[in-house]
Amino acid sequence: MRTAQQLAQNPETEPVSADVVIVGAGLFGLVTAQQIIEHTDKTVHIIDIRNHIGGNAYSYFDEETGAEIHKYGAHLFHTSNERVWEYVNRFTEFTNYVHRVYTTHKGEVFPMPVNLGTINQFFHASYTPVEAQKLIEEQAGEFAHVDPQNLDEQGKKLIGEPLYNAFIRNYTGKQWQTDPSELPASIIRRLPVRFNYDNRYFKDTWEGLPKDGYTAWFERMIDDSRITVTLGVDFFDESQPYNKKALVGKVPVIYTGPVDKYFGYELGELKWRTVDFTEKRYDEADHFGVPVMNYADSDVPYTRAIEFKNFNPERRDQQNPHKTVVWEEYSRFANRDDEPYYPINTEEDKALYAQYKAKAEAEPSVVFGGRLGTYAYYDMHQIINTALIAFEKEVEPLLK
């Protein structure tokens, strides 16, 4: 199997010779490349401005601790889509990891999402499921029958004021750098509450982490001589051959970068949230005892902390028993030069994207995809599914 480094070419000397160029080596681009090779006789060249493949799901192994670091924050694979599950298992085996999250509130740790254990611990009670459900309905109080005008009112309506104030209000405020009373109710259309002791975070049929790591999985997907990759290449840099001016209209292009950037931001900029990380290292085998610890209180400036070793307990023999690494995650509004993570999706943003989408649909021989190309937030299984569908409905017909 060729590694990403072996796949990469020299952007200064490599001629434009592939049948298809894919801009972006994230999951949408990788799945599309794999499908082109499998179902057509075309050759593919992938470019990416970063120095690695995999997009935001890229990971690497930390030399000191042996932990697999998810460079852009925790990535956890889960799906109920049988087609997607069968597809990804062609390229990697998965561990039996089941994601569970805990939240620290006022010095006490609670299981999340809110479940019967959370409720009984919070209220120092032993409610049955029926009793707990009745309690939550009562605590919604005056908000139970109103049309929520902001996130505060929506949260209180969904889970009652005490639980909302404890676990959601300040956490959400940190996520958005905005008081929840000033945020739209639509941000939290629902809040999961389980009236049993199930604290599994996801409810999907299948869940796990790639046994050999994310990057090994992605390398296998494009391990074919008809796929080449150039890393560290800016699609908008006309000093190198794989640029927009040289390619569009001359060769089919799959574009997964920011849709507003493709059009030179001529209609305005779409708004995103981004995250920053602060790394902490501890002379301990295990600092939290869990992979992810949320912090619900406003006096802790970060939203959560990620301890990567705990995602892979099956690798204990390959990990340093005396060292661990933790990343603290901070959320903020993104600037143009930041890595965009989550679309803000205000009504103004939605209207602006609709205009860009119309322009994208009129572009000759270009297929727009991925979260940046379609201004949407996707989990990994969703982006894989959209790529499989896009290949069938857009890419393959374009290549014919």
**Cβ–Cβ under 8 Å, residues 300 and 278:** no
Mean pLDDT on 112-140: 96
Q: Are residues 395 and 263 in the same domain?
A: yes
pLDDT reading at 220 higher than 90: yes
Mean pLDDT in the chain? 94
119 within some domain: yes
Number of independent structural domains in the chain: 2
Residues of the chain with pLDDT > 70, as a percent, come to 96
- Helix or strand or coil: residue 129? helix
Q: Are residues 88 and 127 in the same domain?
A: no
311 within some domain: no
- Extended strands (E) in 225-333: 227-231, 253-255, 272-282, 292-295, 304-307, 324-333
Q: Are residues 183 and 38 in the same domain?
A: no
Q: Quick: pLDDT tens for 279-292.
A: 999 999 999 999 99
Q: Quick: pLDDT tens for 230-240.
A: 999 999 999 99
Domain hosting residue 126, numbered range? 115-187
The active-site residue, picked from 329, 353, 356, 375, is: 329
The pLDDT score that the predictor gives to residue 364 is: 85
242 within some domain: yes
The active-site residue, picked from 131, 223, 269, 379, is: 379
Mean pLDDT on 144-165: 89
Q: Catalytic residue at 190?
A: yes
pLDDT reading at 30 higher than 80: yes
Q: What does the alpha-carbon distance between residue 323 and residue 313 come to, in Å, rounded to a whole number? A: 14
Q: Are residues 72 and 134 in the same domain?
A: no
- Helix or strand or coil: residue 254? strand
Q: Are residues 34 and 143 in the same domain?
A: no
337 within some domain: no
Q: What is the CATH number of the domain that holds 164?
A: 1.10.3110
The active-site residue, picked from 93, 237, 377, 392, is: 377
Q: Catalytic residue at 329?
A: yes
Q: Are residues 75 and 13 in the same domain?
A: yes
The active-site residue, picked from 97, 194, 242, 295, is: 194
Identity of the amino acid at 241: P
The pLDDT score that the predictor gives to residue 141 is: 84
Q: Are residues 121 and 85 in the same domain?
A: no
Q: What is the CATH number of the domain that holds 378?
A: 3.40.50.720
Q: Are residues 10 and 126 in the same domain?
A: no
Question: How many other CB atoms are found less than 10 A from the CB of residue 274?
Answer: 15
Mean pLDDT on 175-181: 89
Q: Are residues 374 and 254 in the same domain?
A: yes
The pLDDT score that the predictor gives to residue 204 is: 96
The active-site residue, picked from 214, 260, 273, 356, is: 273
The pLDDT score that the predictor gives to residue 345 is: 84
Q: Are residues 216 and 177 in the same domain?
A: no
Q: Catalytic residue at 332?
A: no
Q: Catalytic residue at 304?
A: yes
Q: Are residues 150 and 215 in the same domain?
A: no
200 within some domain: no
Q: What Rg, from alpha-carbon coordinates, does the chain have?
A: 23
23 within some domain: yes
261 within some domain: yes
The active-site residue, picked from 41, 189, 190, 347, is: 190
Q: Are residues 21 and 49 in the same domain?
A: yes
The pTM assigned to this predicted structure is 0.93
More confident residue, 393 or 189: 393
Last residue of a domain, one of 187, 217, 245: 187
Q: Catalytic residue at 194?
A: yes
347 within some domain: yes
